[in-house]
Each structure stands twice: as structure tokens, then as C-alpha cells.
Structure 1
Amino acid sequence: MVERIICYRAPSTVADVDAVADWLAARVDADVAVRDRFLDVHRTDDLAERFAEARVPSPYERETGNTMLGTIRYEERALENPEREGGVLYDGVQVQRALNAALPAAERGLETLHVPVLDRAIGTWGDHDGRWHKRVTVLGQPALVSVPGLYEAPAKPESYYKEKQRHALLSGDTPPREVLENQVDGEFLIADDPRTTDVLKGTVLQGHHYLETGEAFCDREGCRLFNAHYQADLLAAHLREPAFCDDHARLYGP
């Protein structure tokens, strides 16, 4: 049984982790605490190298890692100055193992759930299609939550990709993200979206629910525990009423 949940801030993002923790505390039978950035609180000497090993060099190659000195130096700078990190995809399972190893032994048990809210893009390998997929969460201990994943992992409206392709055919290059976001109709989260915190509330709850019940996600669209693969479904699950399906409303309130 989960007795304590520790959420970690992501200061280089718009995520208000204290507000997420307050929302969570009203819905779960566990103590909820907030700490500063996980990568500062639980920094280990080999963390930069572990991130370098978890780098995904190609979306279609299973092998990960680039431990050349320059890459490790980059990861060291990213640990010190997180606002300088970006554009890199990491194997979420490898990152999870690295962060688990960084936890103090007394807090590594499953009665204390750690939820690092990260400013990095994480992914998992898909054996079914032979490619990496960006993820919002990697459930387990700790339960990883990626803020960039909220913006990048769930698919945007089809019109977004059509406009991107049209621009590439006309100009020969990929248009800036901001251009596409202004030209495409349809709801989806964008970088630094003010709705980020509200969406994170249910996302963090997914981590608790998995450790407490063994159930990864809810299969009912519109429930905050639903694993949304499309932006429209993500927003419907986290920003629309009711917040939960009937089964999970009994656990976490209306």
C-alpha cells in the first residue's frame, strides 16, 4: 500500500507541482509531499553518464547510448542548467532505473512513491512496429512524468500533419512549430501551455493508481486514468467533466 507520495518540481517548465500535490492529497489515502527537482535532490556522480547511455540516437534503432566525452559533458551541463536541455529523446525505462538507483535505500520501497516531473522527452521501444514512441509517463518506481511528453507524445489533429507536409513541399523544410500551431484548427497542448498543470494532476494520479492497484490505465475514454494517444482524448480526459469513470470516481471522488 502506498503510504507516501513525493512529487518533484520541474522548475524549467510551467508545471505547478505544488498545485498538483494539493489536488492529489484531496483524493488519495496517502501523505503527499513536494520536493525540488529530482535531479538536484538525488544527484549521483554517474547520473550524467546514465542519461548519456539512455539517449535514443535513431527513432528506428533499438540500441541506445552515446557515451562519448562530449555527450557526457552535455549531460553534465543539462543537469546544472536544465533550461539548456532539449531536443533529445531518452529511453524512459533506462532513466527510470537510473533514478531508482539514485534514491536513498530507506525510500526505495513501494510504500513511498516518487514522482519526478521531468523537463525531458522520454520514450519506450515498440516491438510491434520497430520504432521508439514518445511517452507522457513511465509507470513504476519512480513514476516518471514528462512535461514535453504532454506536448509531443499524443498525436495532434490530422490537419496539423497535413499542413506540415504542405509547407515542406512548398519550401523544402519543416516550418517552425509556432507557425503550425497558429495555422491549424483543433485543440492540442502546446509548449508552456497554461493547461499543463491541470493535465498533470490526472497524469500523476496514474502513477499512484498503478502502484496501489496494479492497473496500468483505465480503458474508458474521458477518465483521468485513460492512456490517451491523441491530443483530443488527452484534453477530454483531463479537462472535461466528469473527471472519472464510475468505477474510478468511487476511488478518487467525482
Structure 2
Amino acid sequence: MVDSVVLYRAPTNVVDVDELGAWLEARIDASVTVRDRFLESHRTDDLAERFAEARVTSPYERETGNTMLGTIRYEERALEQPEREGGVLYDGMQIQRALNSALPATERGLETLHVPILDRALGTWGDHDGRWHKRVIVLGQPALVSVPGLYEAPAKPEAYYKAKQRHALLSGDAPPREVLENQVEGDFLVENDPRSTDALKGYALQAVHYLETGEAFCDQAGCRLFNAHYHEDLIEAQLRDPPFCAAHARLYGDS
């Protein structure tokens, strides 16, 4: 039984973690508190090296890690100055183990769930297709919520990829992301999207739901607990009514 949930702010993006916490507390039988950035609140001496070991070096290689001195120095700077971090994908399971180790021993039990909102891109390896997949959330203790994953993990509308390919054929290089986002019709979330806080509410609830029930995700598209693989599905699940399927509405209300 989860008695308390601790959410951690992500200072370099638009997500309002206090609003996220208030929404969550209204729906669960547990207290919710908000703390400042996890990577400032909980730190181990080897955390920069653990991040370096978790780096994904190729989309199609299972092995991770680059522990050259320069990489570890980069990770040390990123821990101190998160606004300087970006463009790196990490093995979400390795990062989860590293952050679990950083928790005080008295807070590692499942009665207190920790949910760091992170500025890092996280992935999990797909045995079925032999490549890494970006994720919005890695369930467990702590449950990791990736803000970049919200924008990058779900597939965008087909028109987005066609426009990207067309630009590359004409110019020989990839277009700036903001150019594509302005050109392509279709609803999808973009970096620093003002809808980000609302879109992450269902993921924060999913972290609690998983520990309470063992259910990883809802299989009903349109429910906030649905694991969307396309931006259209994410928006339908997180930003449109009704917020829950009938079964989960009974547990968490209908708003």
C-alpha cells in the first residue's frame, strides 16, 4: 500500500509539478508532497559515472556506456547545471537502479513512492525488434517520468515524417524541428508545450496505480492510464474527455 508520494521538480522545463501533485492527491488515498530536483535532493558520489554507464551509444546496440573521463565530466556538469544537458538517451532501467541507490535507506520501501520528473531522455531496449525505444515513464521505485520523452517518445503524425524526408531530399540535411512543427498539420506536443503539465498527470497516476495493483497500463485507448505510442493517442488519452475508462473512473473519479 502506497502511503505517500513524493514528486520532484524539473527546473529546466515548463511542467508545473505543484499542479501535478494537487491533481494526483485529489485522486489517491495517499499524501503527496513536492520536493526540489531529485538530482539535488539525493546524490551519490558515483552518480555521474552511473549516468555515463547508462548512455545509449547506438539505437541498435544493446550495450550501453561511455565512461571516458570527458563523458564523466560532462555528466558531472549536467548534474550541477541541468540546463546544459541534452541530446543524450539513457537506459531507463539503469538510471532507475542508480536513483534507487541514491535514496535514503529509510525511503526505499514501497510505502513511499518517489516520482522524479526528469529533464533526461530515457529508453528501454526492445528485444522484439532489436532497438532502443524512448519512454515517457519507467515504472517502479522510483518511477521515472521523462519530460523529453513526452515530446519525443510517441510517434508523430505521418505528415511530419513525410515533410522531414521531403526537406532532406531537397536540401540534403535535416530541417530544424521547429520548422517541421510549424509546417505540419496535426495535433502533437512540442518542446515546452503549455499542455505538458496536463499531459503528464495520467503518467504520475500510473506510477501509483502500478505499485498498488501491479497493472502496468490500461488497454483502453482514451484512458489516462493508456500507454500511447502515437501523439494522437496521447492527446486523446491525456487531454480529452472522458479522462478514464469505466473501470478506472470507479477508482479515480471522472475528472
Q: Separation in 2 of the partners of 1:201 and 1:130?
A: 31
Q: Which residue of 2 aligns with 1:55?
A: 55
Matched, 1:34 2:56: no
> Tell me, what secondary structure is at the counterpart of 1:187?
coil
Counting only pairs closer than 5 Å after superposition, residues 149-188 of structure 1 correspond to structure 2 as: 149-188=149-188
Equivalent pairs, count: 254
- One-letter amino acid of the counterpart of residue 205, structure 2: L
Q: CA-to-partner distance for each residue in 1:86-112, whole Å, 9 max, x for gaps?
A: 000000000000000000000000000
* Displacement of 1:61: 0.3
Counting only pairs closer than 5 Å after superposition, residues 70-149 of structure 1 correspond to structure 2 as: 70-149=70-149
Q: Which residue of 1 aligns with 2:197?
A: 197
Gaps of 5+ in 1: none
Q: Separation in 2 of the partners of 1:152 and 1:40?
A: 25
Q: Separation in 2 of the partners of 1:5 and 1:215?
A: 18
Q: Which residue of 2 aligns with 1:237?
A: 237
Q: Separation in 2 of the partners of 1:242 and 1:28?
A: 18
* Displacement of 1:44: 1.1
Q: Separation in 2 of the partners of 1:187 and 1:44?
A: 41
Q: Which residue of 1 aligns with 2:214?
A: 214
Moved over 4 A (4+): none
Q: Which residue of 2 aligns with 1:24?
A: 24
- One-letter amino acid of the counterpart of residue 150, structure 1: L
Q: CA-to-partner distance for each residue in 1:155-178, whole Å, 9 max, x for gaps?
A: 000000000000000000000000
Of all paired residues, the percent bearing the same amino acid is 79
Q: Which residue of 2 aligns with 1:9?
A: 9
Q: Separation in 1 of the partners of 2:220 and 2:139?
A: 19
Q: CA-to-partner distance for each residue in 1:38-97, whole Å, 9 max, x for gaps?
A: 000001111100000000000000000000000000000000000100000000000000
RMSD: 0.4
> Tell me, what secondary structure is at the counterpart of 2:19?
helix
Q: Separation in 2 of the partners of 1:151 and 1:82?
A: 18
Q: Separation in 1 of the partners of 2:110 and 2:46?
A: 24
Q: Which residue of 2 aligns with 1:246?
A: 246
> Tell me, what secondary structure is at the counterpart of 1:145?
strand
Q: Separation in 2 of the partners of 1:196 and 1:83?
A: 18
Q: Separation in 2 of the partners of 1:199 and 1:178?
A: 20
Gaps of 5+ in 2: none
Q: Separation in 2 of the partners of 1:101 and 1:7?
A: 17
